[in-house]
């Protein structure tokens, strides 16, 4: 009887350890995604400002910002305003959680549509 109780306790302890490990791995992934989102938002907002300087106006949408190109004076090479970000097949710039970023065309403010991160 004591051995059986001891075995159940060991199984329960092992199960709890596995659940804690799963939780920690998920939390680590979420924290990494949050760091990536912070970097991407900064990059996108700087891209909007660069677009304003180069084009003399705000981009009308994230699609325009993602597809538009510019070149430095005296250079022929054209560069994209948005680089190294995931753009889906519909031309939407996606955040690390799989939701599109949106641009307020009037203010030039970029934000995520991921619930809980809309006001970053």
Q: What is the pLDDT of residues 45-71, one digit of tens each?
A: 999 999 999 999 999 999 899 899 999
Please state the rounded mean pLDDT for residues 84-110.
90
Cα angle vertex 40, ends 112, 79, to 5°?
120
15 domain residue, yes or no: no
Let me know how many helices (H) and strands (E) the chain has, helices first.
2, 4
Q: Which H helix or E strand runs over 102?
A: strand 101-104
77 domain residue, yes or no: yes
Give the total number of structural domains in the chain.
1
90 domain residue, yes or no: yes
52 domain residue, yes or no: yes
* Cβ atoms of residues 69 and 81 within 8 Å: yes
10 domain residue, yes or no: no
73 domain residue, yes or no: yes
Per the structure, the complete domain to which residue 56 belongs is given by: 34-112
6 domain residue, yes or no: no
65 domain residue, yes or no: yes
Please state the rounded mean pLDDT for residues 86-114.
91
């Amino acid at each position: 009887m004591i051995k059986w109780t001891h075995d159940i306790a060991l199984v329960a302890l092992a199960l709890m350890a596995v659940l804690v490990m799963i939780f920690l791995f998920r939390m680590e992934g979420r924290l990494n995604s949050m760091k990536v989102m912070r970097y991407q938002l900064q990059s996108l907002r700087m891209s909007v400002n660069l677009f304003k300087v180069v084009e003399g106006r705000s981009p009308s949408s994230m699609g325009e910002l993602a597809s538009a190109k510019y070149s430095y004076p005296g250079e022929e090479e054209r560069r994209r305003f948005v680089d190294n970000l995931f753009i889906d097949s519909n031309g939407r710039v996606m955040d690390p959680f799989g939701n599109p970023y949106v641009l307020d065309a009037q203010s030039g403010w970029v934000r995520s549509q991921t619930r809980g991160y809309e006001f970053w």
